[in-house]
Amino acid sequence: MTLKTLLTHFPPVDFAMGYGSGVFKQSGHDSSTSMVDLVLAVEDPLAWHTEQIARHPEHYSGLKHFGPAAIAYIQENLGAGVYYNTLAQIPGTNQLMKYGVVRTSTLCQELKEWSNLYLSGRMHKPVNVLTSVDSVDEAALINHSHAMHLALLGLPETFTEEQLFMKIAGISYWGDFRMTFGENPKKVRNIVKGNFEGFQRVYANKIKNSPYLQRNATSGELTMDITQMARESMLMSLPVNVTSRMSPKHRAFTIENVNGKRVKHAVSTIVQTSSRTQSIKGILTAGSVKSVKYIWQKLRRTYLRK
């Protein structure tokens, strides 16, 4: 089975990606125990769920009895704008998948504006894009630029690619309550170590073309322009949803009165809200039985590994 063949089990989508430990190797993790994680972006969620409920009603919790309009409403008005079906059997196999459905325009807005840092955070890291459209591709590049600039603001003048990728991979976990319960505390390091070349592919052009970076030809280390002008430029290139949270009264500010802790705190407030609301929403959309199974699998992998 290839990931692309999974798309035959869904109505048409604008964008699809595979991500997570079931798709990419993570250091110290047995991927054979993981679900295949997918995100699907669609133009019309109501029409999409109407067709998918008719095809695979077993993927949905009891919410399906309220009709596709209720499903679409919950998707777009609660949490991070994405509706997940979890522990869904992949037809013809013994493998399970979890797939999230999001409106295409919502995904593009989130990638550019970091409205909730939920899907954009996942797309800071390497993902397996199965199909796409220009609008998502363009928004994804902006998302990568935001992630790199934010990471650079938390690094010393000279650093390695691994340090950069660790910062980038960790952004979406700042403020996520699940990192203190149910997730491997070494998850970020395992993600980077398990797919280092993938990070290099994603960020190679960003690093090469950055006006703020130079690479040492001998050591391969990166040196950053740490002048006030450069750092202020990187800071002001971040989404307003981040920068406005560093200035309580939404007033203008400069790099002089913004330190690393304030930057991290601003991002954490976004992640904290979205991770909690989306987790609560996940219990609703999965149903009680699937929620217990999913949580148990998480805890078993984290705390009961041999």
- Range from 18-22, 23-27, 178-182 carrying the lowest mean pLDDT: 178-182
- Range from 56-65, 109-118, 270-279, 287-296 carrying the lowest mean pLDDT: 287-296
What pLDDT sits at residue 215?
A: 97
Percent of the chain whose pLDDT exceeds 90: 60
Task: Tell me the pLDDT of the chain averaged across its residues.
Answer: 85
Q: Is the pLDDT reported for residue 94 higher than 50?
A: yes
Separation between Cα atoms, residue 288 and residue 129, nearest integer Å:
31
pLDDT in tens, 220-272: 999 999 998 998 899 999 999 998 888 655 444 455 445 567 788 889 988 88
What pLDDT sits at residue 3?
A: 86
- Range from 56-65, 112-121, 277-286 carrying the lowest mean pLDDT: 277-286
pLDDT bracket for residue 300 (50, 70, 90): very low
Separation between Cα atoms, residue 51 and residue 57, nearest integer Å:
10
The model's pTM is 0.86
Q: What share of the chain is helix, strand, coil (3-state, %, to 5)?
A: 55, 15, 30
pLDDT bracket for residue 73 (50, 70, 90): very high
Look at residues 6, 14, 85 and name the one whose alpha carbon lies nearest to residue 43: 14
pLDDT bracket for residue 134 (50, 70, 90): very high
Mean pLDDT over residues 119-144, rounded?
97
